[in-house]
Amino acid sequence: MRLLVFNQATDTADPILGFATHWLRALARRVERVDVLTMRAGELSLPGNVRVFSVGKERGYGEPRRAVEFYRRLATLAGVDACFSHMIPVFSVLAAPVLRLRGIPLVTWHAHRHVSPILRLAHHLSDRIATSAPSSYGYRHDKLAVLGQGIDTALFSPGGAPEQPPLVLAVGRLSPIKRLEMLVEAVRRLRTRGVELRCVCVGEAPAHHEDYARRLRASAAGDVEFAGAVPYERLPAWYRRASVHVNLSPIGALDKSALEAMACGRPSIVANAGFGPTLGPHADALLVAAADGRAVADRIEDLLATPAAERVRLGAALRERIVRDHDLDRLAGRLVALLHDLGAPA
């Protein structure tokens, strides 16, 4: 199979989107060739059967110029058997008429709570919509294929003992949707209870949320440290240092930072009920039904009071479930099988 992939960024060093290169490597092991048409390209570390073509955002091209570049590149990519559009529905919409004329099946991946007009159009123009979990896709489910989140469980794996005093970790961008002010409140409550801990947020704010990040840092007043953005390949070391990871995003897409932490054998407290099937029998200990500072503090305190050996067993059980449901290699296999079912050659 010769696969065409659309994505937002192809850059190993990107702290948010660096995982996309791991997806491309996993797909490249299963197909003859992968051609990538990306909004932005940066540092690349990919096998020889992967070619990357950018529409030029990293060169400062505006939207009209990028659209011209998109169609110019698309016209030169001959011999494509199937197309996978990852979190960039606008490319699905632009390419769909051309792909349909060529008889090339299109699968669009979307795992986000926001449903835009462009996404609705991409839904109708795609042969299938792929996502990580049923709760991760907020539009119609008539074309939906649930494939898991695609966590590189070889990279995100257990290793070493957590640091002391216990580290409570939150990984992800500093945005209101992450509800990090609740974590700040929880840490403050824990300190007043005499619980010894250290709390670190790893990630930066997107430009349009700088005001939120500034207020968050001011309110933390020394209770929470902010480590800034970290290259994707260095995230596992942070998870392994932690005793507990916290992700307070509401119902919607499964936040991959929580799954990465669990893949590293660390419990993750979550506020998204969509994690229920992944947590299974451990949901009572890790899922916060009412995400407020007091409830989060209680869950953190309970986990930190759990004997270390029991936390290790919990972490191992969670990793098993991540490997079963969300492993990247398994997702790549499921995706290739889906494309084959849609008519692409094996």
| Cβ–Cβ < 8 Å for 126, 140 | no
Retrieve residue 107's tokens: 């699968």
Instruction: Name residues whose C-beta falls within 8 Å of residue 122's C-beta, 6 or more positions apart in sequence.
Output: 85, 89, 90, 92, 93, 96, 108, 110
Residue in the structure block whose two tokens are 């989107």: 17
Contact between 267 and 162 under an 8 Å Cβ cutoff? The reply is no
pTM here is 0.93
Specify the pLDDT at position 251. Answer: 81
Give mean pLDDT in consecutive 10-residue pieces for the chain, a chain of 346 residues. Answer: 97 90 97 98 95 97 97 94 97 97 97 93 98 93 96 96 96 95 96 97 95 95 93 95 96 91 98 93 91 91 96 97 97 97 88
Q: Provide the pLDDT for residue 112.
A: 87
In Å, how far are 24, 158, 264 from 260, measured between CA atoms?
Answer: 18, 10, 6
The predicted structure's pLDDT at residue 291: 66
**Residue 346 pLDDT:** 73
What is the dotted CATH code of the domain comprising 167-325?
Answer: 3.40.50.2000
For tokens 């009209």, the residue is 64
3-state secondary structure the chain: CEEEEEEEEECCCCCCCCHHHHHHHHHHCCCCEEEEEEEEECCCCCCCCEEEEECCHHHCCCHHHHHHHHHHHHHHCCCCCEEEEECCHHHHHHHHHHHHHHCCCEEEECCECCCCHHHHHHHHHCCEEEECCHHHECCCCCCEEECCCCECCCCCCCCCCCCCCCEEEEECCCCHHHCHHHHHHHHHHHHHCCCCCEEEEEECCCHHHHHHHHHHHHHHCCCCEEEECCCHHHHHHHHHHCCEEEECCCCCCCCHHHHHHHHCCCCEEECCHHHHHHHHHHHHHHECCCCCHHHHHHHHHHHHHCCHHHHHHHHHHHHHHHHHHHEHHHHHHHHHHHHHHCCCCC
Contacts of 195 (CB under 8 A, 6+ apart): 300, 301, 304
Model pLDDT for residues 248-305, shown as the tens digit of each residue? 998 878 999 999 999 999 999 999 999 999 999 999 999 998 668 999 999 999 999 9
Amino acid at 76: T
Residue with tokens 């509401």: 250
Please count the residues of the chain: 346
CA pair distance 337, 82, nearest whole angstrom: 11
- Measured in degrees and rounded to the nearest 5, phi and psi for residue 64 equal -60, -45
Q: Show the tokens assigned to 338.
A: 């889906």
The CATH superfamily of 2-150+327-341 is Glycogen Phosphorylase B; (3.40.50.2000)
Domain with CATH 3.40.50.2000 in the chain: 2-150+327-341, 167-325
Q: What's the distance, CA 49 to chain centroid?
A: 25
- What are the tens digits of pLDDT across the range 333-345? 999 999 999 998 8
Residue 113: what pLDDT?
82
Question: Which residues sit opposite 277 in a β-bridge?
Answer: none
C-alpha closest to that of 85 among 123, 46, 47:
123
* Residue-averaged pLDDT of the chain: 95
**What pLDDT is stored for residue 292 in this prediction?**
86
Tokens 């240092």 -> residue:
241
